């Protein structure tokens, strides 16, 4: 049973690896690239790489598409090997067909792995990142970013102070 729903959105974003200039052609390759970024950043143990990918892929196949409208995709799953939430962010200049309802290719990706013991925290993080990515100005600035820290700053800015 989950205790108090307490997530530190800022800490998750601060520790998320950010990959600009992605070039993968398939959404499965985008997911693997972001998982590899988590491993490279020390946010996921190397021995968990394949099982994390298997869980994300299973969520995509069995649980429906995680591509949202407006060029955003949030591949995510509950991953039993974790006791918290880990995220990786990717920006793909051309985009990848992820089956979004609006038919647009996904260009901004936020891969999320979270503990199955914290379902409310999982939903709360997904909601918080989605609230930010719903804003066209944030998406536009993310797509124009030349440095990972510019993306991080956009995602950490309090919503009330934006634009």
Structure tokens at 11: 């800490």
| Residues in contact with 80: Cβ distance below 8 Å, sequence separation at least 6, in sequence order | 115, 116
CATH of the domain at 106: 3.40.930.10
Q: Which domain holds residue 151?
A: 15-155
* Of residues 35, 27, 42, 16, the one with CA closest to residue 96: 27
Residue 14: per-residue pLDDT: 97
In the structure, what pLDDT confidence band is assigned to residue 65 with cuts at 50, 70 and 90? low
Task: State the average pLDDT for the chain.
Answer: 92
- pLDDT above 70: residue 120: yes
Domain membership flag for residue 9 = no
**Gap between the Cα atoms of 93 and 99, Å rounded:** 17
Q: Please check whether residue 148 lies inside any domain of the structure.
A: yes
Domains identified in the chain, total number: 1
What are the phi and psi torsion angles at 56 (to 5°)? -65, -45
* Mean per-residue pLDDT, 42-67: 89
């Amino acid at each position: 049973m989950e205790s108090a729903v307490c997530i530190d959105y800022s800490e998750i974003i601060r520790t998320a690896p950010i990959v600009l200039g992605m070039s993968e052609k398939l959404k499965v390759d985008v997911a693997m690239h972001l998982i590899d970024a988590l491993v490279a950043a020390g946010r996921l143990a190397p021995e968990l790489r394949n099982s994390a990918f298997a869980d994300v892929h299973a969520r995509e196949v069995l649980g429906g598409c995680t591509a949202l409208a407006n060029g955003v995709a949030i591949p995510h799953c509950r991953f039993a090997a974790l006791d918290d939430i880990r995220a990786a962010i990717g920006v793909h200049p051309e985009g990848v067909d992820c089956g979004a309802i609006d038919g647009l290719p996904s260009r901004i990706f936020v891969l999320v792995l979270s503990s199955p013991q914290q379902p409310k925290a999982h939903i709360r993080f997904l909601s918080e990142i989605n609230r930010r990515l719903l804003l066209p100005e944030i998406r536009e600035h993310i797509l124009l970013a030349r440095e990972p820290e510019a993306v991080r700053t956009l995602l950490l800015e309090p919503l009330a102070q934006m634009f």
